C-alpha cells in the first residue's frame, strides 16, 4: 500500500509553500515511500532561533503523523501493547516509592520530610475542592462499548437490553442500580438478565491514534462505567469551584469544553508574550498509580473510586492486577487526572510564585514560567 497519489498534489503544495530544508526532506521521503523514516522525524524547539522557523518545520514534520493508515511497516497495535506494559512498570515503581508515605514513614532524610510536607499540601487542596462525596450521583450511559456490548451493539437500547456486567467490588452499589429505569425495564422485558454478570475487570483494546502507534484503552463493565461517568460528572462540578470548567458543549467532543478553549487561547497568547508555560504529559492517565490516588484523595472519595475501578485488566489472553489506578476508558479518569495535576501544580505555585495562574485540562497543564522548572522533573 502506498500513499494515495491523489493526495500528493495538496501535500506537496503545502510542503513547497513552507520552503524549508525539512519540508524538502519530507517531500523526498514521501516520493521514495520511506514512511517509517518520515513518522520518526522530530523537531526540537531548543534548536531554533525564532518561532517562525520552528513552526514551519513542525508543520512539515507532523503533517502526516496522524495518518494512521500510512504504510510505515510499524505494528501499531503491538506498539500500544508495549506502551501498556511500560506504563505498568512505571506505576509499579511509583507504588513502591510512595508506599512509605502511606504510613507516615519512618523517613530517613530531610528530602523525604520535604516530600511528605508537600504531599500534605496537595491533599489539603484536593480535600477542599472535593468536599464530601455526593449524596446522589446522576449516573448515565456513555457513547462507547462496554465489556460485553461491542461492535454495532453499543447503543443505549443495546446496553439496556443485554445482561449487565460488573466487578465484584462494585456489586455493593447494586441497590442504587435497582432504582433506575434500566433495571425496571429489564424486569419487564428480560427478567432473566437482572442479575449482572460478575467479571474480574476490564478488557484492553486499541483504537487508531497515529502512524506510529495505536491508543490503548480499557473497556469497562457496563455497570461500572454507568456509575463511573456519574462520579466523573460530580468531580467536574467540584472542580468548578477552582475555576476549572470541564463541562462539554458537545458530549461527543472532549475538546469542546470552556477549559479547552481557555487553554488554546493561553497557549496562543503565550507563544508571543511568554508569560506562561504549557506542559503536556505523555501517557498521563496510564501512569497515575494506585498508591498516588490512595495517598492524595480523602478516604471517602478514595473508597468510592476504588469500589468502581477495575482492579484487573484482560490483556493478551490473561487477567493481570494493574498497578495504575484507572485507564483511558474509565468514566472518571479524565476528571481525576485533571484534579490531581491541578492540585500538584497549584501546590508548587504556592511555594514558588504565590497567587499565579494555574490550570489543568487532563494532562495539559498551564503555569507561570517562573514555576515551570520546579514542576517539571
pLDDT digits (tens, 9 = 90+) for 297-323: 999 999 999 999 999 999 999 999 999
Give the model's confidence band at 45: pLDDT under 50 very low, under 70 low, under 90 confident, else very high: confident
- Which sign does the torsion angle of CA 171, 177, 182, 185 carry? positive
Residue-level pLDDT at 352: 93
| Percent of the chain with pLDDT strictly greater than 90 | 71
Mean pLDDT value of segment 122-137: 95
Q: What are phi and psi of 168, to 5 degrees?
A: -60, -45
Cα separation values, 353 from 223, 299, 369, 373, Å: 44, 30, 10, 12
- pLDDT digit string, tens, across residues 235-291: 999 999 999 998 765 655 555 578 888 888 888 887 777 789 888 888 888 999 999
Q: What is the mean pLDDT of the chain?
A: 91
Poorest-confidence range of 2-6, 141-145, 213-217, 223-227?
2-6
Q: Kindly state the cell numbers that stand for 118.
A: 508537600
Burial letters 207-238, b for 16+ CB under 10 A, else e? eebbbebbebbbbbbbbbbbbbbbbbbbbbeb
The rounded radius of gyration (Å) of the Cα atoms in the chain is: 23
> Rounded distance, CA 206 to CA 194, Å?
30
Does position 347 have pLDDT exceeding 60, yes or no?
yes
Roughly what angle, to the nearest 10 degrees, separates helices 333-352 and 110-130? 120
Does position 59 have pLDDT exceeding 70, yes or no?
yes
Give the model's confidence band at 3: pLDDT under 50 very low, under 70 low, under 90 confident, else very high: low
The pairing of strands 312-315 and 201-208 is parallel
Using alpha carbons only, give the angle 141, 146, 147 rounded to the nearest 5 degrees.
150
Residue-level pLDDT at 120: 96
Q: What are phi and psi of 363, to 5 degrees?
A: -95, 10
Mean pLDDT value of segment 347-375: 92
Residue identified by cell 498516588 is 292
Does position 355 have pLDDT exceeding 80, yes or no?
yes
Residue-level pLDDT at 360: 93
> Per residue, what are the HEC states of the chain?
CCCCHHHHHHHHHHHHHHCCHHHHHHHHHHHCCCHHHHHCCCCCHHHCCCHHHHHHHHHHHHCCCCCCCCCCCCCHHHHHHHHHHHHHHHHHHHHHHHHHHHCCCCCCCHHHHHHHHHHHHHHHHHHHHHCCCCCCCCCCCCCCCCCCCCCCCCCHHHHHHCCCEEECHHHHHHHHHCCCHHHHHHHHHCHHHCCCEEECEEEEEEEECCCCCEEEEEECCHHHHHHHHHHHHHHHHHHHHHCCCCCECCCCCCCCEHHHHHHHHHHHHHHHHCCEEEEECCCCHHHCEHHHHHHHCCHHHHHHHHHHCCCEEEECCEEEECCECCCECECCHHHHHHHHHHHHHHHHHHHHCCCCCCEEECCEEEEECCCHHHHCC
- pLDDT digit string, tens, across residues 154-173: 999 999 999 999 999 999 99
Mean pLDDT value of segment 170-187: 95
Residue-level pLDDT at 252: 57
Burial letters 18-34, b for 16+ CB under 10 A, else e? beeebbebbbebbeeee
Residue-level pLDDT at 282: 83
> Rounded distance, CA 41 to CA 177, Å?
50
Residue-level pLDDT at 258: 80
Residue-level pLDDT at 65: 87
Residue-level pLDDT at 48: 92
Amino acid at each position: 500500500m502506498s500513499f494515495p497519489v491523489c493526495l500528493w498534489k495538496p501535500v506537496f503544495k503545502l510542503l513547497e509553500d513552507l520552503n524549508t530544508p525539512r519540508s524538502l526532506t519530507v517531500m523526498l521521503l514521501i516520493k521514495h515511500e520511506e514512511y517509517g523514516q518520515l513518522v520518526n522525524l522530530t523537531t526540537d524547539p531548543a534548536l531554533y532561533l525564532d518561532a517562525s522557523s520552528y513552526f514551519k518545520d513542525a508543520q512539515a514534520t507532523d503533517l502526516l503523523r496522524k495518518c494512521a493508515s500510512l504504510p510505515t511497516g510499524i505494528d501499531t497495535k503491538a506498539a500500544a501493547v508495549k506502551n501498556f506494559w511500560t506504563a505498568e512498570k512505571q506505576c509499579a515503581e511509583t507504588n513502591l516509592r510512595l508506599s512509605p508515605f502511606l504510613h507516615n514513614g519512618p523517613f530517613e532524610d530531610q528530602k523525604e520530610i520535604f516530600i511528605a510536607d508537600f504531599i500534605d499540601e496537595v491533599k489539603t487542596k484536593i480535600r477542599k475542592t472535593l468536599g464530601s462525596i455526593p449524596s446522589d450521583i446522576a449516573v448515565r450511559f456513555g457513547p462507547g462499548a462496554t465489556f460485553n456490548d461491542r461492535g454495532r451493539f453499543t447503543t443505549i437500547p443495546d446496553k439496556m437490553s443485554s445482561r449487565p456486567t460488573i466487578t465484584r467490588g462494585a456489586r455493593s452499589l447494586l441497590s442504587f442500580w435497582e432504582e433506575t429505569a434500566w433495571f425496571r425495564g429489564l424486569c419487564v422485558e428480560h427478567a432473566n438478565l437482572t442479575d449482572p454478570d460478575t467479571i474480574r475487570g476490564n478488557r484492553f483494546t486499541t483504537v487508531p491514534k497515529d502512524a506510529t502507534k495505536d491508543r490503548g484503552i480499557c473497556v469497562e463493565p457496563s455497570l461500572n462505567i454507568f456509575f463511573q461517568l456519574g462520579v466523573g460528572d460530580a468531580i467536574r462540578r467540584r472542580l468548578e469551584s477552582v475555576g476549572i470548567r470541564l463541562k462539554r458543549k458537545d458530549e461527543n467532543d472532549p475538546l469542546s469544553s470552556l477549559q479547552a478553549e481557555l487553554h488554546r487561547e493561553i497557549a496562543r497568547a503565550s507563544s508571543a508574550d511568554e508569560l506562561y508555560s504549557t506542559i503536556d504529559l505523555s501517557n498521563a492517565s496510564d501512569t497515575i498509580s494506585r498508591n498516588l490516588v490512595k495517598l492524595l484523595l480523602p478516604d471517602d472519595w478514595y473508597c468510592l473510586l476504588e469500589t468502581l475501578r477495575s482492579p484487573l485488566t484482560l490483556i493478551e489472553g490473561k487477567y493481570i492486577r494493574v498497578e495504575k489506578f484507572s485507564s483511558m476508558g474509565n468514566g472518571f479518569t479524565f476528571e481525576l487526572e485533571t484534579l490531581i495535576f491541578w492540585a500538584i501544580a497549584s501546590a508548587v505555585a504556592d511555594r514558588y510564585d504565590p497567587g499565579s495562574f494555574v490550570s489543568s485540562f487532563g494532562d495539559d497543564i498551564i503555569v507561570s514560567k517562573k514555576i515551570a522548572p520546579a514542576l517539571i522533573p
